[in-house]
Amino acid sequence: MNLLPLRSRLLGQAFALACVFLTACGGSAGNDHSGPAQALSRQGGQAPAGSSDGQATMDAWARFNASGAPLPEASEEEVLETRTGHAARLNRSELDTKRAQAVRTGGSQFSGLTRKAYTDQIPVYRFYNGSTGAHFFTASGAERDQVIATLPQFQYEGQAFVVSRSAQPGLSPVHRFYNTARGVHFFTISESEKAYIQANLPAYQYEGIAYHASATPGAGLKPLFRFYRLGAKSHFYSGDLGERNTVVENHCDYRYEGTAYYVIDPSASGVEPPAPHTNRTVLLIGDSLTQGYGYGVTNEWFSFVSPGQVWSQTLAAAIPARTGHGCDRLVDVSLGGMQTHHGVERLGGWLDRYWPSHIILAQGTNDAWQSVDMDEIRGNLNWMAQAGRNAGARLYVMDFLFYPRGDDYQRELTSTYQWVAAANGAVYFSATGHLPRSDTYYFPDDVHLRDAAQPSIMETVWSVLQPSF
């Protein structure tokens, strides 16, 4: 192994970190209750001629939404989180493939082996850094002793699991990285993940092979469970099934990433343990109808729903309360003015960053404003649905009935949504089909919805999601 001394890298590195979740309302919440006309003019947009009492006309909203502006550039942190999530998905995919290959060949090549079949076994020791909230693992007794003697913020937690020091049949190298930006270590058995990290995450300094473990299950082996702590931006590993379940259920800032690899345990039968309760993440991809108020793609402020009243906001609070699982959440990536081609451009990154269990596709209104060809709308939505399905998410296609271009156009757009849902095993539903077309619920543009409509929309969405929770 070629592992650099720990003290020179970790001494004095303490981070006060908080868990960050990007949930409902992608724009600034603010305290502004102005209507669309005032909102358009307040940040440099033009209020529609003849409008009053904050009531924008259809043509004014069409001009506002027809800017053709690209989505704002992702921040450096967002890029790094996306790449970290993509790396983890590579690890999961590689291990899934190897497990499937083992099943096709009649089970693990080493099924029936016991602990004594593996030579050169060594323990891996675990520490908890009270300053950062991160854990540190090492297979080096000398490094363990150095940490105990010189780094008092590291609380020694004893032996965590057993691995092999050397290569032998059935075992693969586990690679160790040091994240120079965060002061934490990372381990992977996946060659594809290792290569991706070296190519795309320069803060991860490769330190060499830490030890050897198995990429597939078998008797005498147990899974080592892997988490990514969102706030601390560090990884956590546990070989204890009870600890895994406790972390999944109670620690919302720990994203469960499945099995990291398999470590040595003479009592293990090789049978995979039951999957844990998986915390649900609902990814909402929409536009101003789902965002309600905030900054849109043009960086102009819009506000036609009162802060706190938007259906997506109330749904974000309702999901954990109604499921009884406090770590279930809604992530709303909507922006006013966003079109389906924007969703195509960003969906891959959202999948990597958020690992959604459910995806609601609620786009198409801005395409309709701009008379985008219906085949293009259908193609973009279908591409997103396929990508979400391939990522293992449950799919929902949400239709805000679009009235401004007439009944025939509304039926054609609805038919497009229904086709996309049917083609991808998704659930189609109308968010507004039950709402009367009246001034009580709609602004004069016949699309944007007032405060009065928001509770009903929230309950409609929840009724569709609830059976899968």
Chain segment 382-396, per-residue pLDDT in tens: 999 999 999 999 999
Confidence class for position 26, pLDDT limits 50, 70, 90: very low
Cβ burial 233-262 (10 Å sphere, 16+ → b, else e): bbbbbbbeeeebbebbeebbbbbbbbbbbb
Amino acid occupying residue 341: H
Burial (CB count within 10 angstroms: exposed 0-12, middle 13-18, buried 19+), residue 434? exposed
Choose between 21 and 252: higher pLDDT: 252
Percent of the chain scored above 70 by pLDDT? 83
Domains, the chain, ordered by start: 36-56+279-468 (3.40.50.1110), 78-264 (no CATH)
Spatial contact of 319 and 369, defined as CB atoms under 8 Å apart: no
Spatial contact of 39 and 33, defined as CB atoms under 8 Å apart: no
Q: For residues 457 and 455, give the distance between their C-alpha atoms in angstroms, rounded to a whole number.
A: 5
Q: For residues 96 and 317, give the distance between their C-alpha atoms in angstroms, rounded to a whole number.
A: 34
Q: Say which residue the tokens 């992608």 belong to.
A: 26
Please state which of the ranges 64-78, 183-197, 221-235 shows the lowest mean pLDDT.
64-78
pLDDT, residue 68, reads 65
Q: Which residues pair with 226 in a beta bridge?
A: 237
Residue closest to 185 by CA, chosen among 146, 225, 142, 139: 139
pLDDT, residue 67, reads 56
Q: What is the pLDDT of residues 267-281, one digit of tens each?
A: 898 888 998 888 999
Residue 1 DSSP label:
-
3-state helix, strand, coil in the chain (%, to 5): 35, 20, 40
Residue closest to 364 by CA, chosen among 401, 315, 404: 401
In angstroms, what is the C-alpha Rg of the chain?
Answer: 26
Task: Give residues with Cβ within 8 angstroms of 378, minimum separation 6.
Answer: 416, 419, 420
Task: Count CA within 13 A, CB hemisphere, residue 283.
Answer: 27
| C-alpha triplet 223, 208, 92: angle, nearest 5° | 35
Which tokens go with 338? 């966003």
Confidence class for position 107, pLDDT limits 50, 70, 90: low
Cβ burial 407-423 (10 Å sphere, 16+ → b, else e): eeebeebbebbbebbee
Choose between 445 and 316: higher pLDDT: 316
Choose between 73 and 209: higher pLDDT: 209
Q: What is the pTM of this model?
A: 0.83
Residue 7 has pLDDT above 60, yes or no: no
Q: What is the pLDDT of residues 218-263, one digit of tens each?
A: 899 999 999 999 988 999 999 999 999 999 989 999 999 999 999 9
Burial (CB count within 10 angstroms: exposed 0-12, middle 13-18, buried 19+), residue 7? middle
Q: For residues 385 and 358, give the distance between their C-alpha atoms in angstroms, rounded to a whole number.
A: 11
Residue closest to 27 by CA, chosen among 293, 285, 303, 282: 293
Please state which of the ranges 66-80, 124-138, 144-158, 259-273 shows the lowest mean pLDDT.
66-80
